[in-house]
Homo-oligomer: A and B are copies of this chain.
Amino acid sequence: MFSHNQRLQYSVHVHEPNPALANLMLEQFGGPQGELAAAMRYFTQALAEDDPGRRDMLFDIATEELSHLEVIGTIVAMLNKGAKGELAEAVDSEAELFRKLQGAGNDSHVTQVLFGGGPSLINSGGQLWTAGYVDSIGEPTADLRSNIAAEARAKIVYERLINLTDDPGVKDALTFLMTREIAHQKSFEKALYSIEPNFPPGKLAGRPAFADMYVNTSQGAGDMRGPWNNDADFNVVSDHEKHMGIDGGDGLMSVKLSSDQKKIVDQMTARLKSNLDVNPTTGAELGKAGGGDQLNRH
């Protein structure tokens, strides 16, 4: 059960309205690396988690991310406050309002026209938030790695936003939010490594011959060696002929059809056979300049 207090986790004192900056902030409100995605990632994991310790941690962090969603959404609302009133009250002339809207730049027009200046669950490019951003799969050693990665991504997007604003209030709140991603990443790392073993994830072991193989599929001038394909840990296979049928088999495909099914498939294949021995006249030839001339006049 959640409860709420209108005091924010972090104070938001914005210097002046700036709809274009507001629009960039949406990246962390309704964008793929934003706070709703984070909150929902951890919340859905918490609900299905059977381990009481991790469950508590996931609820702790999910709840904090909801509070971050509130902070970033409040920044958006503050930055839009002036523009919102101007469009709703239409005190300026239409030409002046149009000029202001255009002048604000980037995609801030969507926020003004469609959402009336309110924070909305889109990213800075207007893309609707989708649950496709939430990558929880219900297995903790995979999910914790997803969480670690998600915190790293969110940290970077905050860093980029911080680099783009000199409004001290916005910068301050963003720095707080960015720092919290670091703290959360640390917690998720601790949680991952307190499951022993956690690699490979899951229960099934891989097949040894393929677990240490590095398939060198991209060759030529840029071909390189590095820690990711070092000889101590990996068996590097560079011969492209050996990449195919790497099981030692034919590299082909087959399925056993019943004789009835085979007959039907053969019938379909015959019906739709490409005749290899023709050079048919085609629509492209009819359509070329002069191409249809002898054919299509009355």
Does B130 lie within 8 Å of A115, measured CB to CB? no
Stoichiometry, as copies per complex, reads: 6
User: Chain B residues near A273 (CB, 8 Å)?
Assistant: 51, 195
A56's nearest neighbour on chain B, judged by CB, is B224
Known A56-B222, A70-B2: A258·B161 in contact at CB below 8 Å: no
Q: What residues of chain B lie closer than 8 Å to A249, measured between beta carbons?
A: 10-11, 13
Contact B289 A24 (CB under 8 A): no
CB nearest neighbor in B for A126:
B125
What 1/0 flags go to A43-68 for Cβ under 8 Å of B?
11101101111111101111110110
Are A191 and B88 within 8 A (Cβ)? no
Nearest 3 Cβ contacts at the A-B interface: A116-B138, A125-B126, A48-B118
**Contact: B130 with A187, CB < 8 Å?**
no
- Cα A165 to Cα B290 with chains together (Å): 32
Instruction: Give chain B residues whose Cβ lies under 8 Å from the Cβ of A244.
Output: 1, 5, 7-9, 220
Q: Which residues of B contact A202 (CB under 8 A)?
A: 155-156, 159
Which residues on the B side are within 8 Å of A268 (C-beta)?
Answer: 50, 84-85, 88-89
CB distance from A240 to the nearest CB of B (A): 5
Q: A95-B166, A186-B212 are in contact. List 10 more A-B contacts (CB 8 A).
A: A16-B257, A24-B113, A87-B160, A89-B203, A90-B163, A97-B163, A141-B287, A185-B200, A194-B227, A277-B298
Asked whether B279 lies within 8 Å of A296 as measured between CB atoms, the reply is yes
Chain A, 275-290, contact with B by CB distance < 8 Å: what is the 0/1 string? 1111111111111111
Per-residue CB contact flags for chain A residues 71-109 toward chain B (1 = under 8 Å, else 0) read 001101111111011111111011101100110011101
Closest to A295 in B: B281
- Per-residue contact bits, chain A 142-156, to B (CB 8 Å; 1 contact, 0 not): 100110111011011
Whether the pair A234, B77 counts as a contact (CB closer than 8 A) is: no
Determine whether the beta carbon of B8 is less than 8 Å from that of A1. yes
A150 to chain B: closest CB distance in Å?
Answer: 8
* A119 with B152: CB separation less than 8 A: no
Beyond A193-B227, A267-B89, whether A157 also contacts B137 by CB under 8 A is yes
Please indicate the chain B residues that have their CB under 8 angstroms from the CB of A187 in the complex.
Answer: 214, 228-229, 234
Nearest Cβ distance between residue A76 and chain B, in whole angstroms? 8
Give bound CA distance, A67 to B218, whole Å: 12
Cα distance A35–B89 in the bound complex, in angstroms: 24
